[in-house]
Amino acid sequence: MPIGIIINGCSVILGGILGCVLGKRLGSQLQNKLQMVFAVCSMSMGIGTIVLMQNIPAVVFSVIFGTMIGHLIHLEDNVNRAAKRMQKMIMRLLGSRSDMSSAEEKGDMLLTVIVLFCASGTGIYGSMISSMTGDHSILIAKSILDLFTALIFACSLGLVVSMIAIPQMILFLILFICAGLIYPLCTPEMIGDFKACGGCIMLATGFRMVRLKEFPIADMIPAMALVMPISWAWMNYILPLVS
């Protein structure tokens, strides 16, 4: 049962509605402070899963090689293009262009929110862990962050923010189903390395949220597809040779 995904989608919808109700009562100073808190929470979740690492070389290699693959196939650019198409579709559906005093600026803001909600490493990793282990805690923690993030952005963008919950839930449900098919083939060590790899992406997400460093989050996502087979190969073939 994808409980975490449902909670996450509902939190985005609720946050968007609350943002419309509150309007601009939340000052920019509070919004900036909350964004820093969101970043710390993302980093904390990342560190909490990195410590579950079983094979350090396998995880390090996966993150490096996965990021190289993401860069070579221009994954981040493709994610941004897909988000732009989604942005146009949502704005056309709600007829929100006429409500915007600065359509271009708010369009860029909406693009950021789409990528943040639909293509975040935390959401992708959390959906797969939810399916593989039944642990919904990561998605529930993300839901709390998304609730307030949606609230803040909805103060400027309106109900269009709530609409993002639809593609988000569709994407996460697909990942949930696929991960459930993979889980029977996994060992506890492979699961630990997978969690650690996701933790690296969550840590990088926190740094990016506070604009300390623009980590290529989308380009890092292929690492999560590589870490399990690399972990398996390391334990079965490389580790016996070096030990």
Mean pLDDT of 57-86: 89
Number of structural domains found in the chain: 1
**Residue range 80-112, pLDDT digits in tens:** 788 778 777 776 766 654 444 455 556 666 766
pLDDT of 41 strictly over 80: yes
What are the angstrom distances between the C-alpha of 99 and each of 20, 63, 160, 197?
A: 13, 43, 11, 42
Give the ranges where the chain is alpha helix by DSSP (H): 3-22, 28-50, 56-72, 75-94, 103-118, 121-133, 137-157, 160-163, 165-182, 188-209, 217-220, 223-233, 239-242
pLDDT-wise least confident of 111-115, 185-189, 224-228: 111-115
Q: What pLDDT score does 152 carry?
A: 83
Show the domain range for 174.
3-242
